[in-house]
Amino acid sequence: MINKQKAVIQLSLMAVMSALVTVGTFIVQIPIGMGGYFNVGDAMIFVAALTFNPLIGGVAGGLGSALADLPRFSIYAPFTFVIKGFEGFIASLISNKKSVLLDVFAVVMAGVEMVVGYFLVDTFLYGLGVALGWIPLNILQIVVGGLIGVPIALILRRRLPEIIR
C-alpha cells in the first residue's frame, strides 16, 4: 500500500510541477530582444528539482517547458523537452536537499547545461551569430530563476511532509 501511495503522490507531483512550469513559462512573459521572452519557468523548474527527486525535476522541466513552447515557439518544443528536462534532472541530482550552497551549485551546473544546450540548438537553427547573442539572456534567465527558485524550494522543504519530498 505504501508503494502505491508513493507512486500516486509522485505522479501527482509531476503533474502539478509540470503545470507550474508551463504557467511560469507561458503566462509570465516579459519580451526581450531577438523575439524571445523572459519568464519564471526556470524558477519553477528549480523549485521542483530542489524540492523533489530527479524524476520530478526532469519531467516538470521537460514537459512543462515544452508545453509552453508549443503555441508560439513550436520549433523549439522537442529541444526544450530535452534541454529543460536535463536541467531539472541535473539540478535535482546534484542537490542533497539540505545545503543551500549545494543548491546554488546545482543551479549553476543545470544552468550551464541549459545555456550550452540552447547554444547548440540556436547555432543549428539560426547560425553562430544568433546563438552567441542568446547566451547572456539565457544566463540571466538562469540567474533570476535561481534567485527565485532556491528560496521557494528552501521554504517548501521545511514545510512539506517527508512522504511528499
pLDDT in tens, 104-127: 999 999 999 999 999 999 999 999
Chain CA centroid to CA 24, Å: 10
The answer to whether 83 and 118 are in contact (CB under 8 A) is yes
The answer to whether position 152 is within a domain reads yes
The answer to whether position 66 is within a domain reads yes
State residue 32's pLDDT score: 79
Domain, as residue range, for 89: 2-159
The answer to whether position 37 is within a domain reads yes
Q: What is the pLDDT of residues 14-41, one digit of tens each?
A: 999 999 999 999 888 888 776 677 899 9
The answer to whether position 25 is within a domain reads yes
Q: Residue 110 has which C-alpha cell?
A: 543545470
Confidence of residue 160 (pLDDT cuts 50, 70, 90): confident
From the CA atom positions of the chain, what is the Rg in Å? 15
The answer to whether position 165 is within a domain reads no
Closest CA to 90 of 66, 54, 65, 41: 54
CATH number at residue 29: 1.10.1760.20
The answer to whether position 30 is within a domain reads yes
pTM of the complete model beyond 0.85: yes
CB-neighbour burial class of residue 75 (10 A; exposed 0-12, middle 13-18, buried 19+): exposed
Q: How many domains does the chain have?
A: 1
Length of the chain, in residues:
165
Does the pLDDT at position 1 exceed 60?
Answer: no
DSSP structural state of residue 113 = H
